[in-house]
C-alpha cells in the first residue's frame, strides 16, 4: 500500500472567487486503501470530490491521478485519466429510460472496442460482482434503493478502474441495507484490489469499512483530522472531531499514545 494513486496538492477550491470552500488542502491516497472523507454540513466534502474527479477546476493547486494531473490535462489526456476511475453518485444517476444492462454498457461502448457480445458478458460479470446477477433487463424504476446503489457500483466498475469514488453510498438506506452495502464495498476491494474513496457522514459505515478517515471543517476550510477512525474517535486532540465521531455523546478521556 505504498504506491500513491491519488494526490491532492495545495488545493484551493470553491464556486465563486469570493467564496472559498477549501483552502490549501493536501493529502495522498495509497493503493488499495479505503479512505472516508467526512465532516459537518457545508464543510466541502462534495466540493472536494467534484474537484478530484475533474468536474471543476480549482482556483489553485493540483490533483494527480496515478501521477497524471487531471487539472492541467488537455481534453484527450483528461479522457484517458478518467478511465482510471469509476464514480457512483449519491442518487445512483442511472438513466431511467435504459435497462441496467444498457446503463452499465454505456462506458464500455464509449471507451472500449469490445463487441456487443463481449460487452454483454462484461455487464453480467459486473452485475454478479454486486449481487445483481439476473437483473440485466430490469429498469431502474423496478429496483429498491439498495439495488440502485449496487447497480451504480456495477457501472462504476465497468472499465475495471484502479480507483473508485463513492458519493454517500448509504444515504437513504435502512440499517440492514446499509450494512449489506458496507460488506459489498469490502468485497469489491478484496476482489478488484481497487483504491476506494468514500464521501459519507454515516458513522457506522466509516467504522465498518474505512482504513482511514479524513475530516474537513467548514470553519477552517481545511483538514482537521486524518487517521484511523477508531484512533480519532478516542485520541484526537480536536474536541469537535471526537464529538462528531462519538455522535455527540460525552467525550472519552484522551490518552496520549502513538497510533
The domains found in the chain, sorted by start residue, are 13-46+54-84+165-253 (3.40.50.300), 94-160 (no CATH)
The pTM for the full model equals 0.92
Per-residue model confidence (pLDDT) at position 258: 47
pLDDT in tens, 127-139: 999 999 999 999 9
Three-state secondary-structure class, residue 231: helix
Give bridge partners of residue 205 from the DSSP assignment.
none
C-alpha cell belonging to residue 224: 482537521
Outline where DSSP puts E strands in 127-184: 163-167
Separation of alpha carbons 52 and 16, rounded Å? 18
Q: Give every residue of the chain whose pLDDT is below 50, as ranges.
A: 1, 258-259
- Check if the beta carbon of residue 224 is closer than 8 Å to that of residue 241: yes
Q: Which residues neighbour 92 within 8 Å (Cβ) at sequence distance 6 or greater?
A: 140, 148, 149, 151, 152
CB atoms within 10 A of CB 1: 10
pLDDT in tens, 33-74: 999 999 988 899 999 999 999 999 999 999 999 999 999 999
Amino acid at each position: 500500500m505504498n504506491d500513491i494513486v491519488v494526490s491532492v496538492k495545495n488545493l484551493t477550491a470553491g464556486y465563486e472567487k469570493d467564496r472559498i470552500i477549501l483552502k490549501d488542502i493536501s493529502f495522498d491516497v495509497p493503493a488499495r486503501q479505503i479512505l472516508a472523507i467526512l465532516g459537518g454540513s457545508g464543510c466541502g466534502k462534495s466540493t472536494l470530490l467534484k474537484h478530484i474527479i475533474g468536474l471543476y477546476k480549482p482556483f489553485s493547486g493540483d490533483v494527480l491521478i496515478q501521477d497524471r494531473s487531471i487539472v492541467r490535462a488537455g481534453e484527450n489526456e483528461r479522457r484517458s485519466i478518467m478511465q482510471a476511475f469509476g464514480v457512483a453518485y449519491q442518487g445512483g444517476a442511472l438513466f431511467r429510460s435504459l435497462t441496467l444492462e444498457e446503463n452499465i454498457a454505456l462506458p464500455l461502448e464509449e471507451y472500449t472496442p469490445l463487441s456487443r457480445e463481449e460487452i454483454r458478458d462484461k455487464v453480467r460479470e459486473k452485475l454478479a460482482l454486486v449481487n445483481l446477477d439476473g437483473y440485466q433487463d430490469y429498469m431502474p424504476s423496478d429496483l429498491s434503493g439498495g439495488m440502485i446503489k449496487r447497480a451504480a457500483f456495477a457501472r462504476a466498475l465497468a472499465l475495471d478502474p484502479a480507483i473508485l469514488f463513492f458519493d454517500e453510498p448509504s444515504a437513504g438506506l435502512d440499517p440492514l441495507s446499509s450494512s449489506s452495502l458496507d460488506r459489498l464495498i469490502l468485497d469489491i476491494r478484496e476482489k478488484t484490489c481497487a483504491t476506494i474513496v468514500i464521501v459519507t457522514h454515516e458513522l457506522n459505515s466509516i467504522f465498518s469499512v474505512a482504513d482511514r478517515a479524513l475530516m474537513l471543517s467548514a470553519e477552517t476550510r481545511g483538514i482537521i483530522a486524518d487517521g484511523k477512525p477508531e484512533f480519532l474517535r478516542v485520541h484526537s486532540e480536536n474536541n469537535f472531531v471526537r464529538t462528531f465521531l462519538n455522535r455527540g455523546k460525552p467525550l472519552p478521556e484522551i490518552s496520549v499514545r502513538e497510533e
